Amino acid sequence: MSATYENGPAENGPGENGAAEDPGAAAARLTGRPVTGLRPLSGTLAEVVLDGGQVVMVKRGSDPGAALAEAAGLRWLAEAGTVRVPAVHGHDPHWLVTEHIPTGPPTARAATRFGHDLAALHTAGAPTFGAPPPGGPEEAYIGLAPMRNVPGPAWPLWYAEHRVLPYLRRAIDGGTMRSSEAATIERVCERLPELAGPAEPPARLHGDLWNGNVLWGADGQTWLIDPAAHGGHRETDLAMLHLFGCPHLDHVLDGYQQAAPLADGWTHRIGLHQLFPLLVHAVLFGRGYAEQALTAARAALAA
């Protein structure tokens, strides 16, 4: 499907009519280049061809500010010079235009390199736990869910207060978790200082590292998309890879351990780090994820 768009008028800029544009008009306005082709991929994502043949991805944010948070996250991850992320070609509060990544099959070799590069990304660090990317908003997102990036000095207290408990309350308010079940997860939060393992410095996290946000590039590299980037515990990204599966995960972990060995007992803490994404999914997608969160909490308490 092809179309031609000239640069949009000024009144379609950020904060005004930008949200009402289609992806082609948004891409033309944000890149300053005419658009010659458009292929919708979903209600919020499209492949757009710019004049000259360059293909870009155009994404509409779920809420004003979502695109700003994602753009800041991509740039922060890119600054580390480790794992590859798509370049940002333009953004405003409603739209994000990024590099298009041709994909290929996952390979063990690429997975090992990805693990090594992910360790280097984490080692690049963050100012504090909960630190947003430079220029990124405090009120950010993980997928379609709001996520506050509030700095904290110690990971156990910060994780309980700003990741687990807010979504536990939302899950109860939304009816996907019963009030009588909350005590199990609250006990985990109370015991986090003893359950969290050795203290770690704040890591530079992708923050939403499930398999769908890992692209196996046709160039043999591994690329990360759709970050919910912030300063956090490095085991959290690895727990996300375990939660929803990842091709050649054993090779990813081998590469990671070669570059930055994990603290003893980290496999016993995977469920602890999965509590946050499971509760997010319980809020967004229902009861099944609430049950998985309770299973993870019980396992953490029994470890």
Q: Which two tokens stand for residue 170?
A: 């939302």
Q: Are residues 172 and 253 in the same domain?
A: yes
Same domain, 292 and 191: yes
What are the structure tokens assigned to 58, written together? 């155009």
Coil/strand/helix, residue 55: strand
Confidence at residue 211, expressed as pLDDT on a 0 to 100 scale? 94
Identify whether residues 85 and 52 lie together within a single domain. Answer: yes
Q: Are 158 and 237 contained in the same domain?
A: yes
pLDDT value of residue 18:
60
Domain end, chosen from 51, 67, 99, is at: 99
Residue 125 domain boundaries: 108-302
**Per-residue pLDDT tens for 146-199?**
999 999 989 999 999 999 999 999 999 999 999 999 999 999 999 999 999 999
What CATH number has the domain bearing residue 265?
A: 3.90.1200.10
pTM over 0.75: yes
34 exposure class (CB count in 10 Å sphere: 0-12, 13-18, 19+): middle
The count of C-alpha atoms lying within 13 angstroms of the C-alpha of 41, restricted to the half-sphere facing its C-beta, is: 11
Give me the count of residues in the chain: 303
Q: Is the same domain home to 224 and 115?
A: yes
